[in-house]
Chain A
Amino acid sequence: MTAQTQESSFFQPGSRFWKVGAGSVARRLVSDPVTAVAIGVLVALVAIAIAAPVLAPKNPSAIDPFNTLAHPSSAHLLGSDENGRDSLSRLIYGSRVSLVVGLISVSIAVLVGVPLGLAAGYAGGHVDSFIMRCMDAVMAFPAIMLALGIVAVLGSGLYQLMVAIGLTSVPLYARLVRSQVLSLKQQDFVMAARAVGVPVPRLLLRHILPNAVAPIVVAGSLGLAFAILAEAGLSFLGLGVPPPTPTWGGMLQKGLPRIYQARELSIVPGIAIFITVLALNIVGDALRDALDPRLRGRL
């Protein structure tokens, strides 16, 4: 019993397992050159988003009616849009929306999905059936279609977009955590904790959840890529953050009708989305292999 309690505490947050594990995972990640480059891209992107007011050469919302649809030049390095706004500045500021929507919507999905998965997996029976049938029903709606419905209810805007994208990913985390709980609750250390009368909330949060963190982290990093794609897609449809806030998807939407006059408007924001999502996918795949190779093919 003592040994099993010790095993349980070994997995607690802040224990040796996490200190040693985190260091070794980080070393494994940067040892692969492709992953190291992808991490570098993401770090640079975060830095650009934070330092946008310093880095952007112009005010991203400043309209210049005499310089509309300008081709790249020293005045506008990436050209200007239909209102004469500087494309480079809008691209730099656009990274803020993508990253914030990505991070917050994944957080919403985790915060709703993980407790549902814990409850379904641990309680079993009718609670499990009810939660999982609801998750099946949510998954029946294609993500963009569900997000469309939620945006229709909530209206368009930054917060609404985060909620819409976040809620579409809830079933992923609920199913993932449920499957982890189902196998963990049969393990000796959980049985031991139950036998000594550890209350259920504590059992779930201190003994079971820390052991399910690895797949959640992996799903979260890949989920971030999905969220950024979804944000770009909804903004492209005109259902994202309303103008004049610059978003990459919104820039593509405005560029499409002007494809004959200013091609760069349809190319540059797409490259930004593509590189960000590619880097996130590479890091997500590498994290999965470093943390839990058994998840290959499931995430």
Chain B
Amino acid sequence: MWRYIIQRLLALVPVVLIVSIAAFAFIHFLPGDPVIALIGPEAGTATPETIAARKRDLGLDRPLPVQYLDWLGSAVRGDLGQSAVTKQKITEALQDRFPVTLHLAVASFLVAISIALPTGIISAYKRNGPLDRVLTVLALTGVAMPSFWLGILLILLFAVQLQWLPPSGFVSITTDPIDCLRHLILPAISLGMVQAAVIMRQVRSSLLEVLREDYVRTARAKGLSERVVTLKHGLRNALLPVVTVVGIQVSALLGGSVVTETVFAMPGMGRYAVDAIFIRDYPVVQAVVLVTALVVVLANLLTDLSYAFLDPRIQYS
């Protein structure tokens, strides 16, 4: 088991390195001199001598590999540079922004799982019946629904029409759990619904596949009820492909949060990156893209490792 974990960690090294090179190269791919991207608006009024001096200060006159290693070293120590516009340390800004995105991601994930698991199981249990058909159509609808549009529709209904919930904003769970929930319900549903549809389709199809296995037939032959067969014998074995899909959804969840945070005016990491693009604050874009990619890589690793707990038959060697 430990050997497998170490192997997986080693396999991550090249991917993380390529991700970091891509993030580092981002500033250098931008049109014009990277120093202009890094010092922001002051470049517009600066004299060539000032720019040259800033270039020396930032170490941009050194060879690229040296700059990369220096940047990587700082990033590993948690220093992601400073905003070109506000001059605030990006790590500090992310400490405020990341929890907002985390709130949204966790709440959406809970919405997705609590809808997907029961509906997927019911759909497989009542396969080809009217309920299954209705749920399949709903899942297809959910996949095609742009999450930001669903968010707008939810605002229209619950904030504008019924005035039950606030249309935008964010309150941390540590400040006021009830108000946090009131602010999170709509964004979490709008982002979680699409994930729910994808996961539900996976639960249904993998459960149906497992229910055709011999050991399930044996369980039925023993006289066990269909409910016990589906839940006790089928579900546990059907969860493996579901976990894979859930792992993949972490990436979709973080990507979707960019748009959802905009719809609901939540001051999260995605909104931070979008705002940064508008004001050409490229170091911020670079940092957010890097942090998001690392979270996805970590989520994929955890997905792989969770297989061991779900399916002891898998040999890790």
Contacts and interface: CB of A to CB of B under 8 A. Distances in A.
Contacts of A281: 140, 143-144
Given A263-B156, A297-B241, A233 B146 contact: yes
B67 interface: no
A142 to B, nearest CB: 3
Interface stretch (B174-182, B221-229, B255-263): B255-263
A237 B272 CA distance: 12
A143 B255 CA distance: 6
- DSSP class of A's interface residues: helix, strand, loop or mixed? helix
A232 B277 contact: no
Interface in B276-297: 277-278, 282, 285-286, 288-289, 292-294, 296-297
B94 interface: no
Given A148-B285, A259-B156, A281-B140, A134 B274 contact: no
Contacts of A278: 140-141, 144
- DSSP class of B's interface residues: helix, strand, loop or mixed? helix
Interface string A142-172: 1111101101110100000000000000000
Contacts of B294: 140
Contacts of B76: none
A252 interface: yes
A250 to B, nearest CB: 12
Contacts of B288: 145
Interface of A: 133-134, 136-146, 148-149, 151-153, 155, 225, 229, 232-233, 236-239, 252, 255-256, 259-260, 263, 266-267, 270, 273-274, 277-278, 281-282, 296-297
Q: Which 3 A-B pairs have the closest CB atoms?
A: A142-B255, A270-B149, A137-B18
Given A236-B148, A237-B259, A274-B149, 16 more contacts: A142-B254, A144-B255, A145-B255, A148-B289, A153-B31, A232-B146, A233-B148, A236-B259, A239-B274, A239-B277, A252-B152, A259-B155, A259-B167, A267-B156, A277-B146, A278-B140
